Amino acid sequence: MTDSTEPTRRLNVLVVEDSPPMRKMIVFALSRVKGLTVNEADDGVDALRKLAQTRYDLIVTDINMPILDGLKLVKRLRADGAYMRVPIIIITTEGAAEDRQRALALGANAYITKPIQAPQVIKLVKEILGIVEDPR
């Protein structure tokens, strides 16, 4: 039997998206999932700064961003021992099969093309993180 006073560990999610409206929509959707702490980065370089300061359990990133794009971010994270196995979801306008294959080959765990629906993103995040919410 577990102690009911024991706090449940919150999972940290980093949303990396250069479009403020899209980033806000993803953050808003994920903030509805119990147990998640959601942080934002506005490009790959900002993401690397935040990843150096905080341990994240999931990264959601766009591909097309200035300075350091999402594919380069995935490649760098997969070469980093601390983030080698952390799940990465790509959400992008790039819908070509080659783009999807390249992202998955670099180490992304999932690939969603825009436009996106909040329930679709929530469902995928819950699946990847193994979150089962009490239906009550």
DSSP states of 4-73: TTSPPPPEEEEEE-S-HHHHHHHHHHHTTSTTEEEEEESSHHHHHHHHHHS--SEEEE-S--SSS-HHHH
CA 25 to chain centre: 13
pLDDT at residue number 5: 41
**SS3 call for 91:** strand
CA quadruple 96, 98, 102, 104: dihedral sign: positive
The pLDDT confidence band at residue 8, using thresholds 50, 70 and 90, is low
Domain spans of the chain?
A: 11-126
Say if CB 70 and CB 64 are below 8 A apart. yes
Please say if the pLDDT value at position 55 is more than 80: yes
Q: How confident is the model at residue 4 (pLDDT cuts 50, 70, 90)?
A: very low
Angle between helices 97-106 and 70-78 (to 10 degrees): 30
Just give the CATH number of 11-126.
3.40.50.2300
| pLDDT at position 69 | 94
For residue 7, pLDDT over 70 is answered with no
This prediction's pTM:
0.90
Six-digit token pair at 73? 């971010």
**Which range (50-54, 94-98, 127-131) has the least confidence?**
94-98
* pLDDT band with cut points at 50, 70 and 90 for residue 132: confident
Q: 127 near 133, Cβ under 8 Å?
A: no
